[in-house]
C-alpha cells in the first residue's frame, strides 16, 4: 500500500487548495459586491416619526418622554447621569412599518421569523400618479399593471413591489390630508395577480392601508398567504421603475406583530 500514500497526500493537498481558493473567491465576490453597492445612490424610503405622526384613529398617537429612574422617577440627564434615553409608548403599526403575516393571520409568522433573505430584494415601483389626475383615489388595476409591463417588462419573480401614489408628500406637510379616506391604493385583483401570477415576495405603499375595501381584502389576503408588507413608505418618486434593490429591516421583537421599519433603496 505504500504506493497510495503519495496519491492520498496529493488528494489532501488538492482539496486544501480548492477550499482555500473557494474561500478567497467568495471573499473577493463579497468585496466586489460591497464596492459596487457603496458606489451607488441610496434613497431613504422611511418617514421619521414622532408624537404628531399621522396614524389610524383606532390606535392613537405615540407618547415619547424622557426615561426616568424607576425608583426616584427622576429623568436621566447627561449633566447628572452621563446619559439620556427616551421612553416610547406607541402601537407597533406606527410610521413606516412592517406588517408580518401574524398581524392578520392567527397562524402566521411574526416579524422575528421573517427570513433574512426576504429583507433585501429587487425593487419594482409602479406609478399610480398618472391615473390620479382623473381619479384622485384611483386603485391600481391589473390593466394598469399590464400597461406598465408592456413598457418596462414583466415583474420579476421574487421582487418587492411598491406602489407610488405621492401620498407621502402629505405625511409631514398635511397630516390630515394624508389620513383621508378614500385614498389612492391597490386594487385587490392586482395584489392577488402579483402574488399568484408574478410570484412576488412582498409589497409596499405610501398609505396607511393596502386598499380601501370594506374588509381590507388585499391586506387580509397577502398576510394570510404568508407575505409581509411595508406601509407608509416615502420617496418612491425618487426611485426608478425597476433595477433598484430594497433593503428593509426592523427590531427583532419576539413574536412581534408589527413595528416601525427602516427601508431604503439602492439605485442601479
DSSP-assigned letters across all residues of 90-130: --SS-SSEEE-GGGT-TTPPPGGGS-GGGGEEEEEEEE-HH
pLDDT for res 143: 98
Cα–Cα dist 238/182, whole Å: 25
Question: CA separation (Å) from 49 to 5, 62, 260, 261?
Answer: 69, 9, 9, 11
pLDDT above 70 coverage of the chain, percent: 90
Q: What is the pLDDT of residues 64-97, one digit of tens each?
A: 999 999 999 999 999 999 999 999 999 999 999 9
Q: CA–CA separation, 244 vs 44, rounded Å? A: 13
Set of cell numbers at residue 257: 406583530
Joined grid coordinates for residue 260? 416601525
Three-class secondary structure of residue 185 per DSSP: strand
Question: What is the pTM for the complete model shown?
Answer: 0.89
Backbone angles phi, psi at 159, to 5 degrees: -85, 165
pLDDT band at 27 (very low <50, low <70, confident <90, very high): confident
Give the residue carrying C-alpha cell 415576495: 201
Q: What is the pLDDT of residues 151-163, one digit of tens each?
A: 999 999 999 999 9
Q: Which grid cell is 231?
A: 406601509
Angle of helix 188-197 relative to helix 142-152, nearest 10 degrees, comes to: 50
What is the per-residue pLDDT across 44-53, written as a single tens digit (0 to 9) for each?
A: 999 999 999 9
Q: Given pLDDT bands bounded at 50, 70 and 90, which one contains residue 214?
A: confident
Whether the per-residue pLDDT at 7 is higher than 60: the answer is no
Amino acid at each position: 500500500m505504500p504506493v497510495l500514500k503519495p496519491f492520498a497526500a496529493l488528494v489532501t493537498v488538492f482539496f486544501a487548495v480548492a477550499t482555500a481558493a473557494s474561500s478567497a473567491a467568495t471573499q473577493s465576490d463579497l468585496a466586489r459586491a460591497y464596492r459596487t453597492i457603496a458606489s451607488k445612490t441610496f434613497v431613504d424610503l422611511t418617514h421619521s416619526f414622532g408624537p404628531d405622526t399621522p396614524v389610524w384613529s383606532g390606535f392613537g398617537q405615540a407618547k415619547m418622554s424622557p426615561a426616568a429612574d424607576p425608583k426616584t422617577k427622576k429623568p436621566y440627564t447627561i449633566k447628572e447621569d452621563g446619559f439620556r434615553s427616551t421612553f416610547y409608548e406607541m402601537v407597533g403599526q406606527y410610521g413606516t412599518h412592517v406588517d408580518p403575516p401574524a398581524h392578520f393571520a392567527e397562524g402566521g409568522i411574526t416579524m422575528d421569523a421573517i427570513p433574512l433573505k426576504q429583507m433585501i430584494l429587487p425593487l419594482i415601483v409602479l406609478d399610480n400618479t398618472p391615473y390620479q389626475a382623473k381619479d384622485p383615489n384611483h386603485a391600481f388595476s391589473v390593466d394598469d399593471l399590464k400597461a406598465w409591463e408592456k413598457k418596462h417588462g414583466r415583474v420579476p419573480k421574487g421582487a418587492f413591489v411598491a406602489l407610488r401614489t405621492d401620498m407621502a408628500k402629505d405625511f409631514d406637510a398635511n397630516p390630515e390630508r394624508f389620513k383621508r379616506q378614500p385614498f389612492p391604493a391597490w386594487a385587490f385583483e392586482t395584489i392577488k395577480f402579483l402574488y399568484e401570477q408574478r410570484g412576488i415576495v412582498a409589497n409596499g405603499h405610501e398609505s396607511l392601508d393596502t386598499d380601501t375595501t370594506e374588509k381590507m381584502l388585499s391586506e387580509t389576503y397577502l398576510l394570510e398567504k404568508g407575505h409581509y408588507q411595508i406601509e407608509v413608505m416615502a420617496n418612491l418618486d425618487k426611485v426608478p421603475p425597476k433595477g433598484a434593490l430594497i433593503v428593509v429591516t426592523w427590531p427583532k421583537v419576539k413574536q412581534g406583530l408589527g413595528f416601525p421599519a427602516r427601508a431604503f433603496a439602492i439605485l442601479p
